Amino acid sequence: MINTQVIDPSYIYFQYDIDVTYPDLKDMNKLFCTFSSKNDLESTLSNIQTQYKILFNKIFVLYVASTEEYVCTYNIDHNNMTNGLLGNTILLHRKKESNTLYTINALNDLIKSLNGGVLDTSFTINWIDYKNCILLTHAGELRRLDTKIYKIITL
């Protein structure tokens, strides 16, 4: 049997700022991102499939060369939240035209960095400048992780 242990959110294997209070998780399907090392990738993928019912039957595994991390992205139905989040998992948003993944905190920091320190939610971002990357925050700073597709798993 596969161990699908949910890790306390105060323990973060990959050190990115994680906001574990997601508003309105039940409003639609959610895009989750689970970080993994190469050694743990197969067990991470197995845990994801055991923990959640994956929508669209796809898990995208991305590789981040700068940190040697693997990032598993997948959509789940809001009803799958009864068991909580797997460790090293965050909620992301996606801009399809540029394949940019981002957290809301990172988006706010990006806007401020491009707009003279002012957070203006109507500010227009040129998303193509952030093609194929993940925008996150770490220790209050915006981080950009460039990604490449490692593999796509069809369930």
Nearest to 58 by CA among 29, 90, 19: 29
Give the pair of three-digit tokens for residue 126.
Answer: 């040129």
The mean pLDDT of 85-91, rounded to a whole number, is 90
pLDDT of residue 111: 96
Q: Mind listing the pLDDT tens digit for each residue in 100-151?
A: 999 999 999 999 999 999 999 899 999 999 999 999 998 889 999 999 999 9
Distance CA 111, CA 50 (A): 37
Distance CA 154, CA 61 (A): 11
Give the pair of three-digit tokens for residue 134.
Answer: 């993940």
Give the pair of three-digit tokens for residue 98.
Answer: 């540029």
pLDDT of residue 22: 43
Distance CA 70, CA 63 (A): 5
